[in-house]
Each structure stands twice: as C-alpha cells, then as structure tokens.
Amino acid sequence: MQIWACTPSSPNVNKQFTFTSTPGSGTGGSGGTGGSPSTDSVTIPIGAGSAPSISRNHLGLSIEQDRWLDWAGNATRNSFFFNCLDNIVKITGVPPKIRIGADSEDHTDFNPNVQGVQDQFPAWTSTVPYPEASHVTVGPSFYQAAKHLPPGTGVTWGVNFGGGNVTAVFLETQAIINAFASSDITSAGITLDNLELGNEADLYVNHNMRPQGYNIQQYAAQWIALATNLTNTARLANSKTRLWGGAFAESSHNSGGFSPQGVFANGILSSAPGAFITTISQHHYSGTFCFGNGAIMQDLMTKSSIRSNLTVFSPDIQTTRAQGLDYVFGETNSFSCHGAPGVSNAAGAALWTLDYALYASQIGISHVYFHEGIGYKYNLIQPLTLTRSILDGSNMAAQPPHVQPQYYAAIIVAEAIGNSGATQVVELNINNPRVAGYAFYESGTLKRAVFINSLAYLTSTSGARSSAHVNLAFGGSGNAPTTFSVKRLVINHADDASGLTWGGQSYETSDGRVGGSLSTESGTVAAGIDIPATQAVMLSFN
C-alpha cells in the first residue's frame, strides 16, 4: 500500500514511498491463534563462507542535538544513559556508535559566552508531544559533554548547513574539534570520527531554508563551498576527522536527484573537501505518524515489509560501495515524526528492530543508527523523567528514566554478534513469511543463531497463542553441533509497552542495569526449537 510520509524533521511535508505488507498481515484476532504449531525446516551452514562481516557496534544511536545535555549530562554524567550504553560495552567490548545532530543541527548556532545550551521550542501538539527546538544556541561545554560517554565511543557530530552561514560552520567546527582535543575526552579514548554537514537537505525547501526548485546541482555547489571551510578548519587543528556525505531524507536512486548517485555525478567526491568523505549516510523510516494517522503493528513487524523497505536502497548501496565508501543508515526508526503511539513504543517494535538491524547487514549497510529524542515514542531509551505523555502530550505522574521495548533488540544484537571482533552473519532461508533467522560465526566457526517469530499476538487476539516449530539441519563439511542452549525474548503481547524479559531478566530497572536471575534452556538439534508468536530466541551451539 502507499503511505504519504514525512520525516520527523518535517511534520508538514508530504513525500511518497512504498510500504509493502503481505496478504493477511493485519491485526485480526485470527493472526495470533492456531491449534498445532507451524513446522519449518532450516539448514544452517556449518562454516561462514562468504557471509558478510558485522561490526560489534553495528547498532548505534542517533541523538537529536537540541537536548544533547539531557542525554549526556552537563556538569555531571547522566548515569542512566551511561548505564544503558555500558550494558552493551560489557557484552561486545565496544560502545555503540553515537551520531549527534538531526533536524536541530540545522538550527544550531555557536556562542562562546553561552553556558551549555539555550533552546527555543515550538508549541507541542498531541501528535508531536516533544517537538525539536526551532533554534539552538550552544557554548563550548555543550560539545565537551561528550566526555560523559563510555570510554572508546566513536562520535559523528552534525554541523549547520541549512543556515548557509560560513561563520557558523567555522565556529561550530572549531568548537567541536577543540572539545574532542581536550584531555577529558582524549584520555577516555572518545573520538570524533566524523562531521556531518547538514541534515536532510532534500527537504530544505519545505523548511524555508532554500528557494523552490532547489536541486542536487545547487546543493553540491553549496556543500563544496561550506565543506571547504569546514575541512580547512579541521586541517588547521590537525584533526583526522572525516566526513559523512548525504544524510538525505529519501533517495531518488538516480543521478538526477538527491541520492548518492546525484552526489557523485555532481563532483562532490572530486572536490577538495570531498576527499574527506569516507561514508555516505542515508535516512529511512518505515512509515509515518506526521499527521496522526494510525499504524498497524503487524505491518511494521512483517518480514516481507522489512525486506522491501530496505532492498529499495540496494542501488544506492552498490553505487556507494563501488566508490570505496562505507554506507550507513545514519538516522532510522519505525514511524517518522517520532513514532506511532501503541506501535513504536510497544513490544512488537523490538522484533522489528531486531530483524531490521540484522537484515541491513545482509545488503551492505554497515551500521544502523536508531534515532532518539527526549520523549520520542520510538526511543530505545528515555533518559530523564517525563511528566507529559509521549503518546498524546497529556499530563501524567512523573515517569523516571527507563528503557523501552526496542532496547531489548539492541541487547540481543550485541549478544548475537559477541565480542570477538571477527563475526560474520548470514540470513537463513526459512520458507515462512512470519519467521526470520540468522546464523553467527566467529572466525568462521558457527556459534549462535537467532530466530524471530513476527506474527503479532495482541491483547485483542482471541484464542490460544500459536507457535512456530523449526527443524534444524546443517550443511557443509565439519562437525555439526548436536545440542544448544536457548535464551528467549519473552513478550506477553505485541502491543505491550513493558514487561519484556530476555533470558528471564529485565532491563526495566531504576538504573538501567539488568535485573533478575538468568534463565536458559537446553535443547537438541534433533528436537528443533519452538518459537511462540511475537517472540524471539537465540541458540548458542555447544
């Protein structure tokens, strides 16, 4: 079906894309019911072969810049946010990558006399209870707050291109580089890996930042001019910082529009600042809530929808890779304009995130940065106390910092990848439109497999919960495992906003650390594995 969508940074703008749903993928009660379980067979390769490599920090976070100090902390660290990131460090050995920018990066100015940040916000609405700031003025300590991140964090920071002001680009770039050269940051191994010049320039016309008819040719000329100033500033500071290119809201997938192809065709790479580009960033959302229209949980979760929403970018990825550049989703999440209530903040979105992030690795997307903002519905983490509902803006009792269901997907991705630094992952061929699977290898040896049953079991579903049974077999030469341990993501209902457990444990704690006793099962290859609707499992092979 066709959805008219807009990105979170453009609540009054329409743009069209295709969202594919399979027949019978709606939320009808029969979807999550059934008598005997479905039975599927899967063959897992014993060796990794040419399976794509996956980084330990494949899943990163994109942070809306306006309230960065609420995330990191100012004079002192935000311990809840730090703990949520450090949980992943303890699993993989490396922190998630962080991108700071988005819509508010193009509304930011630097003033050396400002302490921290001064934000101006538009009025909130029931559709967007926590809007982005319309103007942001920051001082040196705003950037220095990066010292509160976990040691070893790699950061990408956005610089204002929308304002078209050379002085602003110079001052922000200088302040960012100076902050990352400070002893507090360098001693912790926190690095400024990239700068990003502008956010979603293809939508500037709709923000009144560029005149009607603004095109890729004009963008390229302006980007080269401002990026020359940026890279000269970095060079004078002896910074080794590189650039992200692109950061468009959508893609024309051809050289005539806003796309990687358009960037390359208009000479950005051959320009002096273009030599600093190592990565092309694309933004993508799977649907929209910009105008308050509803969303169906099953549509988001469905396996075929996830794949069709991602593979449309294959031409862009291939073109980018052919240039020897990396390709990332520098900003992504479920539904634009901060998510759809009862869907983006619900448990089913955890399964969507898990499948979406892992499938991205199969088509050449090296990192996916899930967008976060204070009070956004689709957050993995809500890092401070909220007193207004994220769903409709209504007043509510103070809700302390907490994780949302999607955070469990980040934990599972981290555990599946592990800490070896030499992991490959391959999608498994499963002839079931509701079941997805991935196998993980370390130094070529099979270690783990993840299976996801994306059939939505809702609070409104009638009848018994159905289950998928997967028979396991192994292909290729080598010793096939005969037993495994099982860790389960237990979800009561796809539309629950809390109450998930991973291996019997919960991250819905006051400090963001895992709570409860670990619970695993033993299984045999001969018996296979059962996966209830709206749940996921990880098998660790013995």
Percentage above 90 pLDDT, the chain? 86
- What string of H, E and C letters represents the secondary structure of 447-470? EEEEEEECCCCCCCCCCCECEEEE
Residue 262 has pLDDT above 50, yes or no: yes
Nearest residue to 514 (alpha-carbon basis) of 81, 84, 92: 84
Q: What is the reported pLDDT for 405?
A: 98
Q: What is the reported pLDDT for 15?
A: 30
Q: What is the reported pLDDT for 292?
A: 57
Residues 322-341: what's their mean pLDDT? 94
Question: What are phi and psi for residue 3, nearest 5 degrees?
Answer: -125, 135
**CA–CA distance, 332 with 287 (Å, rounded to integer):** 11
CA distances from 210 to 121, 264, 283 (A): 22, 21, 20
Cα dihedral value 375, 376, 377, 380, nearest 10: -90
Task: Take residue 361 and report the two structure tokens written for it.
Answer: 């690795």
What's the pLDDT band for 36 if we cut at 50, 70, 90? low
Taking the CB of residue 254, how many other CB atoms lie within 10 A of it? 13
Question: What are phi and psi for residue 412, nearest 5 degrees?
Answer: -65, -45
Q: What kind of architecture, by CATH, is found in domain 59-417?
A: Alpha-Beta Barrel (3.20)
User: Which residue has 């311990």 as its token pair?
Assistant: 79
Nearest residue to 72 (alpha-carbon basis) of 339, 368, 371, 374: 374
- For residues 369 and 99, the answer to whether their CB atoms sit within 8 Å is yes
What's the pLDDT band for 339 if we cut at 50, 70, 90? confident
Residues 427-445: what's their mean pLDDT? 97
pLDDT digits (tens, 9 = 90+) for 231-258: 999 887 778 889 999 999 999 999 999 9
- For residues 361 and 308, the answer to whether their CB atoms sit within 8 Å is no
Nearest residue to 351 (alpha-carbon basis) of 301, 310, 306: 301
- For residues 362 and 327, the answer to whether their CB atoms sit within 8 Å is no
- For residues 446 and 423, the answer to whether their CB atoms sit within 8 Å is no
C-alpha triplet 429, 449, 447: angle, nearest 5°:
125
Residues 513-520: what's their mean pLDDT? 98
Residue 7 has pLDDT above 50, yes or no: no
Residue 12 has pLDDT above 70, yes or no: no
In the chain, % helix, strand, coil (3-state, to 5) comes to: 25, 30, 45
- For residues 449 and 485, the answer to whether their CB atoms sit within 8 Å is no
pLDDT digits (tens, 9 = 90+) for 111-136: 999 999 999 999 999 989 999 999 99
Nearest residue to 58 (alpha-carbon basis) of 444, 409, 452: 409
Question: pLDDT averaged over the chain?
Answer: 92
Close Cβ partners of 141 (under 8 Å, ≥ 6 residues apart): 74, 115, 116
Residue 137 has pLDDT above 90, yes or no: yes
Question: What are phi and psi for residue 258, nearest 5 degrees?
Answer: -75, 110
Residue 395 has pLDDT above 60, yes or no: yes
Task: Take residue 98 and report the two structure tokens written for it.
Answer: 């962080």
Q: What is the reported pLDDT for 96?
A: 98
Range of lowest pLDDT (1-5, 36-40, 47-51): 1-5
What's the pLDDT band for 259 if we cut at 50, 70, 90? very high
> How would you classify residue 258: left for phi > 0, otherwise alpha for psi between -120 and 50, otherwise beta?
beta
Residue 493 has pLDDT above 70, yes or no: yes
Residues 167-171: what's their mean pLDDT? 96
Residues 2-16: what's their mean pLDDT? 32
Q: What is the reported pLDDT for 237?
A: 77
Residue 25 has pLDDT above 50, yes or no: no
**CA–CA distance, 112 with 172 (Å, rounded to integer):** 10
Taking the CB of residue 163, how many other CB atoms lie within 10 A of it? 16
Q: What is the reported pLDDT for 280?
A: 98
Residues 184-189: what's their mean pLDDT? 98
Cα radius of gyration rounded to whole Å, the chain: 23
The number of angstroms, rounded, from the C-alpha of 155 to the middle of its chain's C-alpha atoms is: 14
Half-sphere exposure of 61 (CA within 13 A, CB side): 27
Ordered by start, the domain boundaries in the chain are: 2-51+423-541, 59-417
- For residues 208 and 256, the answer to whether their CB atoms sit within 8 Å is no
What's the pLDDT band for 293 if we cut at 50, 70, 90? low
Q: What is the reported pLDDT for 234?
A: 87
pLDDT digits (tens, 9 = 90+) for 519-539: 999 999 999 999 999 999 999
Close Cβ partners of 239 (under 8 Å, ≥ 6 residues apart): 177, 180, 181, 192
Close Cβ partners of 519 (under 8 Å, ≥ 6 residues apart): 503, 504, 505
Helix or strand (DSSP H, E) at 243: strand 242-248
Task: Fill in the DSSP letter of residue 523.
Answer: E
**CA–CA distance, 141 with 73 (Å, rounded to integer):** 11
Residue 6 has pLDDT above 70, yes or no: no
Q: What is the reported pLDDT for 441?
A: 98
CATH of 2-51+423-541 given 2.60.40.1180, 3.40.50.720, 3.50.50.60, 1.10.645.10: 2.60.40.1180
Q: What is the reported pLDDT for 294?
A: 59
What's the pLDDT band for 2 if we cut at 50, 70, 90? very low
Cα dihedral value 258, 261, 265, 270, nearest 10: 100
With the C-alpha atoms ordered 174, 179, 182, 187, is the resulting torsion angle positive or negative? negative
Range of lowest pLDDT (33-47, 75-89, 203-217): 33-47
Taking the CB of residue 24, how many other CB atoms lie within 10 A of it? 11
Range of lowest pLDDT (140-154, 172-186, 285-299): 285-299
Q: What is the reported pLDDT for 295?
A: 66
Residue 198 has pLDDT above 90, yes or no: yes
CA distances from 358 to 96, 200, 292, 414, 481 (A): 15, 25, 29, 11, 23
**CA–CA distance, 445 with 441 (Å, rounded to integer):** 5
